[in-house]
Amino acid sequence: MVFLQNVWWYLVLIGVMILIHELGHYWAARFFDVRIEAFSFGFGPRLFGFRRGETDFRFSAILFGGYVKMAGEQPGEEIGDDPRAFLSKPRWQRVIIAAAGPLINIVLAIALLAGLFMYSFPKLPTKHSPMIAYLSPDGAAAKAGIKEGDQILEIDGKVDPDWDDVQIKEIAAASKTIQVVVRRNGERLTIPVTPVLDEKRGGIGWLGWMEEADIEIAAVSPGKPAEQAGLKRGDIFVDVNGTKIRSTHKVNEAIRAAEGKPVTINYLRDGKPLSTTVAALKETVEGQERWMIGIALEPHVIMTQLSMVGAVRESVKQNMNNATLIYKFLEGIAERRMSPKSLEGPIRIAQLSGDAARAGAGPFFGLMAMVSLNLAIFNLLPIPILDGGVILMLLVEMIMRRDLSMRVKEAVVRVGFVFLMVIVVFVLYNDLSKVLPAG
């Protein structure tokens, strides 16, 4: 049942992406009066559809994408004196038509997040130049000499960063040394750090630190010690056995250190200070025994609604951050600092689609925004057969002021197709290796 749900929501997600992307090409081509022969969901043999005017709107056998077939689009295709053929149009118009698909995906990503933020925006009380509240003992930050209580003034050239800025720099700098400037006891220190490549977190850079923040209970497990002690979702920790709580790890450390003995938890509920005593139980999680009281923790967030202008501004900011991460990730792969194994293919996207849909409309639309942005950036890569490759060849021709030879164009298309098929095979194999049991 879950498998069928995942497939259904994947088809919904990818269907919207294909429709929006190809509509961008379609509308731009119509605007410049290019004759459109087919608008297809999927590739391969035609299954069914309808004809409207001169265009065949169809569903094809392989639902892994889609395309708009314009007259005279393919190298070697006879166009004669047809003024409405794609290759008969000025190069600048063809550039706009090729770019319209990815650009409308970017617009969709911005619109989806903006709509979500107008309804509900989780505002983290993140400050600029954040304080370090926790360091993993075996993390790269601790080994480099950074200490709890240090205030981050600059990271990899970014001055006065907030925690989002810090995470972007950390994630993108796997196996690459960057400079972190901190303030410690009034003294300004510059410390070189090298984020490690963390496969468990999806092949990204990891320093093993957390910012100072209020920590609240995200969920309480029924029948567990926390519920029996009266703790509820939304309670904000103040201290555990006298240890001030400013990160989730401090809660876990305090409970683990007690080894099942009762601990005193001071907390806030609706701003009112309360206290309780709770004793952890030893449970086996992923083959390891742990002392647990049955709670899930997260940084405290304030839910609010943004105005349209504020929502669009925040959406643009987050999409720019995400685009930067994608670019840095691709750069890391090219430099062989980061692993391509963290790439997600259709199988994993189907799982994520089902999970997001079951969690609610908000998570699903959030995933749709992320997939739309990824699709736009992927299509803008200068790879032959993709929109970015088409744009690159047109720009080369504009600089040369003449067409590339047909032999060159056909060779480029063949190479691009083979390269794209290699990517498809890799991401499918990568997905299967993640979902199938090892051994």
Q: Enumerate the active-site residues.
A: 22
Partners of 41 in beta bridges: 59, 66
For residue 72, count other CB atoms closer than 10 A to its CB.
18
Non-local CB neighbours of 40 within 8 Å, separated by 6+ positions: 46, 49, 56, 57, 58, 59, 60, 66, 67, 68, 69
Q: In whole angstroms, what is the distance from residue 85 CA to residue 32 CA?
A: 10
**Separation of alpha carbons 43 and 396, rounded Å:** 29
Any idea which residue has 């032999």 for tokens? 407
Longest dimension (CA), the chain: 87
Q: Which of 210, 207, 212 is nearest to 139 (CA)?
A: 207
Token pair belonging to 51: 């004809």
How far apart, in whole angstroms, are the C-alpha atoms of residue 314 and residue 379?
A: 24
Is residue 59 within 8 Å of residue 47, measured between CB atoms? yes
Please identify which residue in the block is written with the tokens 């201290």.
239
Instruction: State the Cα–Cα distance between residues 310 and 312, nearest whole angstrom.
Output: 6
| Contact by Cβ (8 Å): 15, 41 | yes
